[in-house]
Structure 1
Amino acid sequence: MSVRDRLHRRLMDELTAGGALRSKEWRAAAEAVPRHEFLRGGFFRRVPGGSSRAAWRPVEENASEWLAGCYTDESLVTQIAGTIRPEDVRGEILREPTSSSTLPSLVLRMLEEARIEPGMNVLEIGTGTGYSTALLCTRLGDGSVTSVEYDQDVAARAHQALAAFGAHPTLVSGDGLHGHPDNAPYDRIISTCGVRTVPAEWVRQTRPGGQILVPLAGWLGAGELVRLTVQEDGTASGPVLAGGVHFMLARPQLPPVLGLLPDLSGGKERGALVGANVLDDWVTRFVAQFAVPAAQRLRLSTDGRDEHVLIDVESESWAALHEGDGHWTVRQGGPVALWDAVEEGLGRWRAAGVPGLERATVRVTPESQSITWPPTTTPAPPAP
């Protein structure tokens, strides 16, 4: 057995033991797809320590650690700043990643959670390296798989890797938020990028009874997998598959640049029912995002006092909170009272007894996106 085969087999065993691979069918597909073939050209590894901004160093294909890295259960960055590839860099680079190969355990968990079966017509949003696309083709056949990639350079590389592997699905270069109506209706849509709001086009292009598996994320920085079932009335709803996931957001849904901050000294001030520190918790942030989906969060030091700020660039609304003597105060400006909305959304969650996200249901309509919980008789804990 070659070194590559041993590394591949070890990874498959780890994923099976860890529960990412639960069915023999997806294990067979994963065993048939060599991940390293979709990482030709190398990848970036994060440099430990250093400044507050992440630094990345290239691991090229001829490096001794490249093959072993391909068969570790970790996400591997393949593009930085929208254009920069590993072969373009010598040394380190301080820019943001824009494309990656998601860790295999999460890729396979998503394929298992999507409940995909042979005979289904599947749309994948975010081709990336093509690795997950190859898994779908191996299980379903090329004719049942359509994959859309936003970045033309990433799409071209994926096309080359898939062709070399022997897979020839329908590959589309364009904005995946519009889906691909030419091959609709789909039995399953699976997104490998995070979205802030589920596009209405995805719901329309999924047959009633079909499902959409998507990492639902937001500009407050928390994301979870959600499995939505499309209804006859054009809505979709389903459970949160709790566990916390972090995906790069679809590029058209990236947050706008904050630019010049509004004057935070004005606005209306009151005592806050909950403090900004509640947003330090991942689950709380995920819930809050439904109340203020266009808000971004930052922390400022003003006159020697720390302030926690939410800003909605689109509506020009803001909320600034600070703590003093054990109490929180909020000032709000603009047409939308952002912290009022946060308190109301978290209040509904508390009224339900602060249930775990695994009990939550997300509902998507053409006009809105909401999260609800079943009623409970358990008293809610006191506010933080």
Structure 2
Amino acid sequence: MTDPRRGHAALVRLLDERGLLSPEWRAVWEQTPRAAYLPERIWRQDPDRCRPVTTAEERAALVVSDEPVITQVDDGTADGPGVATSSNSMPSMVARMLNLLDVHDGQNVLEIGTATGYVAALLSARLGDRYVTSVEIDASLSAQAERFLSAAGHRPRLVVSDGAHGWREGAPYDRIIVTCAVRQVPYELVTQLRRGGVLVAPRVGDFWCGALVRLTRDEDGTASGPFAGTATYMPMRSHRGTDGTAPDTSAPRSRTTEVPPQETLTPGFALYAGARLPGVTLVEGREGGRLRVWVQDGRGSGAVADADGTVTEFGSRSLWSGVESAWREWDQLDRPADAEVGLTVSSAGERVWVRARTEEVDPAAG
């Protein structure tokens, strides 16, 4: 069986070797073992389901791995396996987000999504309990996190509330970290940042993937900043998507495409196309071992694109034509990578831009 102390030390060493830990953060991670923030019952994600971890050997290995540990399924209403609804996140992803957050001594930090309390523990060990507030919508999860934190000697402020609204009573904050995926960054969070304050969040896109974004509050009350790599997080409860209307497959139309599906699977294009084609979902998969992507708009239209360049469309809207148009525009912009795409959040909503706001990405009609 994996020795917990050696396993934790090896995990911290791995994060350090990847350049994810400053000396200050390494000291914090070394004194904050992940195992102390996990409930008795945990799951791991298999391709199509959550599978309970039932042996001590598997648990010990999973806890010190760079993998997420699922800690709740079906919002705690079922015994599972079911849909994952809370987890202790992949350690390397947590370290990435904390690096982007760039905290300094004496700063006031708000976390959205307490979950097991692990990120709150890391922040408390780095800054001190009185500088950390963590909001969780699920009262049972918040109570569990409080037990874990208290046992480790930490007492940050824990709040049971909808994190989409932040926690105005503790504002203004120097830093806000969102540890659940949002479809749009709530402007209410931006209003709770000091000028110059930083917000880090995983923003989920319908179009293939989600990505981290790092926003800085500007003088005019907006917040802007670049995307910073892909990220997969469970959605905030109020930001969960809906399936909509399935494609009407009664009259399929087939053709070839100038944009094979593999050309669509880059984070930069996903961010650009997601802004141009709001509401259009792209999913990657395999058919007979070969790449295939599906797109649909939740309003009865869809398309399937195969690796050989064959496209089959359904419904009244030519969705793949929209993908092709977005791809041509992205190509003409010299294929900006995800780090060259950014976001501005204001009271009027969100705007996606390319290369320091030189190109605004407007939604396409359709």
TM-score tier, shorter chain, comes to: 0.7 to 0.9
Answer yes or no: is the 8 Å Cα contact 2:269–2:330 preserved in 1: no
Once the two structures are overlaid, the 10-residue window that deviates more, 63-72 or 346-355, is 63-72
The aligned amino acid for 1:293 is: P
Structure 1 residues 59 and 109, CA, compared in 2 at 3 Å: closer, same or farther? farther
Matched, 1:318 2:305: no
Equivalent residues in 2 for 1:52-91, closer than 5 Å: 53-59=48-54, 63-83=56-76, 88=79
Gaps of 5+ in 2: 286-291, 359-366
Match of residue 367 from structure 1: 349
* Aligned-residue offset at 1:186: 1.1
Aligned match of 1:131 in 114, 118, 140?
118
Match of residue 245 from structure 1: 231
- 1:116-164 CA distance string (max 9 Å, x none): 1111111111111101100001111111111111222222211111111
Structure 1 CA distance for aligned equivalents of residues 166 and 194 of structure 2: 13
Structure 1 residues 351 and 125, CA, compared in 2 at 3 Å: closer, same or farther? same
Q: Secondary structure at the match of 1:28?
A: helix
Matched, 1:16 2:1: no
Aligned match of 1:104 in 91, 103, 108?
91
The aligned amino acid for 1:254 is: R
Structure 1 residues 329 and 221, CA, compared in 2 at 3 Å: closer, same or farther? closer
Answer yes or no: is the 8 Å Cα contact 1:195–1:215 preserved in 2: yes
Match of residue 295 from structure 1: 280
Structure 2 CA distance for aligned equivalents of residues 6 and 269 of structure 1: 57
Gaps of 5+ in 1: 301-306, 377-384
- 1:296-329 CA distance string (max 9 Å, x none): 34699xxxxxx9664444xx36344667995657
Q: Secondary structure at the match of 1:82?
A: helix
Matched, 1:256 2:242: yes
Q: Secondary structure at the match of 1:252?
A: helix
Answer yes or no: is the 8 Å Cα contact 1:134–1:162 preserved in 2: yes
Equivalent residues in 2 for 1:195-344, closer than 5 Å: 195-242=182-229, 244-258=230-244, 260-261=245-246, 263=248, 274=259, 278-297=263-282, 310-313=295-298, 316=299, 318-320=301-303, 328=311, 333=316, 342-344=323-325
Aligned match of 2:158 in 171, 190, 193?
171
Structure 1 residues 325 and 248, CA, compared in 2 at 3 Å: closer, same or farther? closer
* Aligned-residue offset at 1:14: 1.7
* Aligned-residue offset at 1:266: 7.3
* Aligned-residue offset at 1:288: 1.7
Match of residue 336 from structure 2: 355
Matched, 1:151 2:133: no
Structure 1 residues 175 and 30, CA, compared in 2 at 3 Å: closer, same or farther? same
Structure 2 CA distance for aligned equivalents of residues 116 and 216 of structure 1: 21
Once the two structures are overlaid, the 10-residue window that deviates more, 70-79 or 284-293, is 284-293
User: Normalising to structure 2: TM-score of the pair?
Assistant: 0.83
Structure 1 CA distance for aligned equivalents of residues 25 and 151 of structure 2: 21
Structure 1 residues 185 and 340, CA, compared in 2 at 3 Å: closer, same or farther? farther
RMSD: 3.4
For these two proteins, the number of residue pairs brought into alignment is 351
User: Normalising to structure 1: TM-score of the pair?
Assistant: 0.79
Answer yes or no: is the 8 Å Cα contact 1:269–1:331 preserved in 2: no
The aligned amino acid for 1:256 is: T
